[in-house]
Chain A
């Protein structure tokens, strides 16, 4: 129960700020007016679209890849793969987005808007997913794998019925980290013309209208908190009961 208190307090605070600025500040502030609810709604949808598409692809690539390099026969691949993903993560998110646009232009693709940002978010979000999938799979007690083998399980069966169920909470924790990070990183997508909640944040800053920045910031932060909690819920729901008992 205690872990929900922090969540509720934080979310309440953020939504409180959002409601205060959006519904109760009526006078023009500096060079801009505070955004209306429907504008915030549209921007939030744009924001969610970027993150959901990027995360879906990052999960589709990252989880199988992380599991694969944890297998004994592909273990040799793990340093380069983790290293590559690590580079994507250690470069600042702004730089990953900024680099994507000239790369798209070089490939004669549309370098403005949605896709360059989504690709940047995929690269940025891969690392925690791959690393956790790899760590989750590698840290399964060898005695359990041995026991499976002793029962006559194939490698596929061991992966599906022993390793993944044990590693699943770690794998989902990686997805949770990645998604929460990307909710933040996606605020920079607006620099490339992709819209989203970064739009009020940056245009408020550009026009010294800080209440508008606060609106965008509060909405993006609330979104991150909600996403974090939702995936946290999935995480505990997927964790095998036996492991929960063992943990507690």
Chain B
């Protein structure tokens, strides 16, 4: 009897070992994904975890809630070995390269990837979601700016709806800069905020027309139609929810802040499958390495990110549920495996 038992156990063990031989190797790899402290980053942390699990990696932990610098510190110290960040943030803030108007998303990405390789990081794929400041208008204003008291003239170059920065600038210039706008304090004061936009597009919002408030307040005031124009973050779900029209930054005054992933070189050397898994996941978002910049592609990618963020911010899903339902709709990642 004893022998039969041992035989059965041995058979069972063989069976289990055989079926998991592929995964046994993946299980040895410890992956610690680090993420920042806002909705989009919470979701990105879960997207990475799910993509890795789908590829057979089971030792994946996610540490989120970090500040931007804390995330970079964690990657440099080795506490984290995989993260998603924004190209402009790494390029300008972490690597100290000069961000200036007109830089193309792919230039920033390639340059940053090259420099960061020397820092011990492998840069993975990017999207074109460009999450940074943007000027936005309420639906009413974008469609019929002429209906507003502060607008006496709608210049000919403005093609309705108002949806580009040159058009918005032309409206301001034709109306003494007096169209009321509400913007966040940081955007108001940073030299690479409103001041930069005003320089690049050659317009000025008069002091009397400009109200500075917190980010939340300025979104709320815009949503309540108390102001026709305001500042938003480009992938904020509130844009879709309230039907705001964002002004396309046609001259690329703001450097690209595209979502991308990077990993420590050791992790990729140990498990090349990590790169494939993450790149597959990022390919679910429009835009990528080598792609030429266009307003359409950027809008398309931003819309995908906005809708994904809205699942958490508007529909109250958890970041993991949002990430899962997003990946279920994307063929590049097979969650069922």
Contacts and interface: CB of A to CB of B under 8 A. Distances in A.
B213 A191 contact: yes
Categorize the interface residue count of chain B: 20 to 34
Interface stretch (A59-67, A107-115, A135-143): A107-115
Contacts of B191: 28, 31-32
Given A32-B190, A190-B185, A203-B188, A195 B212 contact: yes
A115 to B, nearest CB: 12
A131 to B, nearest CB: 32
A132 to B, nearest CB: 33
Contacts of B217: 101, 112, 191-193
A113 B185 contact: no
Interface residues of A, number: 22
B335 to A, nearest CB: 40
B220 A32 contact: no
Contacts of A199: 185, 212
A206 interface: yes
Given A32-B191, A111-B226, A112-B226, A203 B213 contact: no
A103 interface: no
Interface string A107-136: 000111100000000000000000000000
A209 B189 CA distance: 10
A56 interface: no
A99 B85 CA distance: 34
Contacts of A190: 185, 212-213
Interface in B186-227: 186, 188-192, 211-214, 217-218, 220-221, 224, 226-227
Contacts of B218: 193
B182 interface: yes
A105 interface: yes
11 contacts: A111-B224, A112-B182, A112-B217, A113-B211, A190-B185, A193-B182, A193-B212, A195-B211, A206-B186, A206-B189, A207-B189
Given A110-B226, A193-B218, A202-B185, 15 more contacts: A28-B191, A31-B189, A31-B190, A32-B189, A32-B190, A32-B191, A111-B221, A112-B211, A112-B221, A112-B226, A193-B182, A193-B212, A193-B213, A203-B186, A203-B189
Interface of A: 28, 31-32, 101-102, 105, 110-113, 190-193, 195, 199, 202-203, 206-207, 209, 212
Top 3 A-B pairs ranked by shortest CB distance?
Answer: A193-B213, A206-B186, A203-B185
